[in-house]
Structure 1
Amino acid sequence: MDDMAAAPAGLDVGPHLEAMRRDGYTIIDDFLSSAQVEAARTGLEPFLGHYRGRNDFEGRETERVYTLVARAPVFQDAAEEPRLMAILGAFLQPRFLLTASQAICIYPGEAAQRLHTDDSFYPIPRPRPALSITVIVAIDAFTEENGATVIVPGSHRWSDAELTAMREAREAGRPVPEVDDAKRPAVMPPGAALIMLGTLLHGGGANRSHAPRLAFTNQYCEPWVRTQENFFLAIPKEMVRGYSPRVRELLGYDTRMNSFMGMVTAETPAKALEPGWAPPVVRQAPQGA
């Protein structure tokens, strides 16, 4: 993890890195162009309008479309955006992975999501560095009324004991000043991206407007932890062959940590994308051997 090595020539991400370390998040206002925003909206149209969340956390009036990176080229481009790669490279080890890629549409009447952290999947004591980083890209403008993501700046430094105390107080109906006084909605225009450490408390806001709030999120993780989505099974290899080398690497078609993690019988999984490749046959040992 090296700030200078991660940043492309002529690209200054220093202020974003400073904000991430201080507050746990940053916002890139012009992450997508207006044309890309419309391409994202168009790419999602065939997949929306069929599903609602299964529980209160997903949202009873919230729709999600998974494996988004396979839905349209604009989502592949967003997954490897140069400024984003530079920021992630300052916090995650080289060859970090894409762990989740999904659209989130919050419909009118949705309640606020409970505050949570995105890398709580990994049971490693806090305080600690984030093991994942979340990117939320606005397709519709994020406002206080339509469900803008609520964030708690500085909570990325909290310990397990502080998080437990916060949850217990919430469940007992007691006020939590360190949350109630600090939380704020991530108000931003279409095409902007909220980038936050996986240790930061946040949650989807309540949609009190009369229109849906559409966004998509990509999450990235250290190369040595398990990803949320299994992209090897979710995306056909014929599609992956057409992706850029960087996106293929983000999906896991590369080896990690001295070429051992992710290997296929001592070779890179990228070989599986070669035409005509077939898995090596594992011979059964002769009986009595």
Structure 2
Amino acid sequence: MRELSASEIDQHSGNLDKNGFTIVKNAIPPVLLSELREALAEVQSTHDIGYSETSFEGTRTVRIYNLLAYHRAFEKIPVSPVVLPIVARILDSELQLSSLSAICPGPGQEAQPLHGDNQMIPLPRPHIPIAVNSMWALTDFTEENGATRFVPGSHLFDHNPDYDGQYETECAEMSAGSILIWNSALWHGGGENQTDKRRDGIACYYCAGWVRQQENQQLGIPFDRIKQFPRRLQELCGFSVYRGVYGHIDNRDPIQMLGREQKGKMVWQASDSAKERKK
């Protein structure tokens, strides 16, 4: 995948700050797009995954959680050089992968209630960004097939939307291969699929390094599979330490459990080093 220029990162992060969302057009190379479509179809068929059981998830929607446990093609998503630099600008470089899941509303799926992805976290709004979500369009997203709807600027509101409340929204229409990125506090929801075809997308959700992940990556992904991941993806899955302290095991970076070397010092060691330098 191509890398974003500094000006592109500035532009997209500025959109996120102001409006709460941005769209990176033609972000997924055709070869990767085909690979992800094939992997998704294979996983659904192999594991006989059907529609969800709750109205919020969508009783006409196929959802596949914990994608990293199913197929190696999905490993390329969280470390994307098109998305990760934008999200890291909003959060920080020590962010984590909160969840990676497929969301595919089928024909007849009703619109999802507007919500904020982080509204279950008891923080007064508005607050600093604590999570950023992204939706990878594997098919075209149109108003007719249920493209994501949102209320621009609502990440700055001082309250969450009422469940099933009626609000004026905009539609995130985009072609297959584009990626929608939004602040998790933004009011949004999947639209109604009024067509006879399924709308396929993959949600890659990131959180700040000090926030608990939606999916327990350390237990949900087979250890042997995680050991094959590139280091950056291992760190995103939680085999890392935030600010040299949060997430440590016996004062060590958990990345060592995967046979990797610890990069920097733990916070207490760094404090001693700083003290020595002042002498």
TM-score of the alignment, normalized to the shorter chain, above 0.5: yes
* Paired residues for 1:126-165 under 5 Å: 126-160=125-159, 163=160
- 5+ long unaligned stretches in structure 2: 261-279
Q: Give the CA deviation at 1:246.
A: 0.7
Q: Deviations along 1:7-27, whole A, 9 cap, x unmatched?
A: 977663111112111110000
Change beyond 3 A, Cα 1:8–1:188: closer
* 2:257 corresponds to 1:272: yes
Q: Say which SS state the counterpart of residue 200 (structure 2) adopts.
A: strand
Q: Deviations along 1:139-171, whole A, 9 cap, x unmatched?
A: 0100111110111111111002xx3xx52893x
TM-score, structure 1 as length reference: 0.83
Which amino acid counterpart does residue 64 of structure 2 have in structure 1?
A: V
In structure 2, what is the Cα distance between the partners aligned to 1:9 and 1:156? 26
In structure 1, what is the equivalent of residue 195 of structure 2? 209
In structure 2, what is the equivalent of residue 21 of structure 1? 17
In structure 2, what is the equivalent of residue 199 of structure 1? 185
Q: Deviations along 1:254-274, whole A, 9 cap, x unmatched?
A: 11122x211122211112213
* 2:210 corresponds to 1:224: yes
CA contact (8 A) 2:25 2:178 kept: yes
CA contact (8 A) 1:142 1:190 kept: yes
Instruction: Count residues in correspondence.
Output: 255
TM-score, structure 2 as length reference: 0.86
Q: Say which SS state the counterpart of residue 59 (structure 1) adopts.
A: coil
* Identity level (%): 30
CA contact (8 A) 1:70 1:76 kept: no
- 5+ long unaligned stretches in structure 1: 1-6, 171-175, 276-289
* Paired residues for 1:162-173 under 5 Å: 163=160, 166-167=161-162, 170=165
Which amino acid counterpart does residue 197 of structure 1 have in structure 2?
A: N
Q: Deviations along 1:28-82, whole A, 9 cap, x unmatched?
A: 1122111111100110112225222121100110111111133333321121111
In structure 1, what is the equivalent of residue 86 of structure 2? 87
In structure 2, what is the equivalent of residue 46 of structure 1? 42
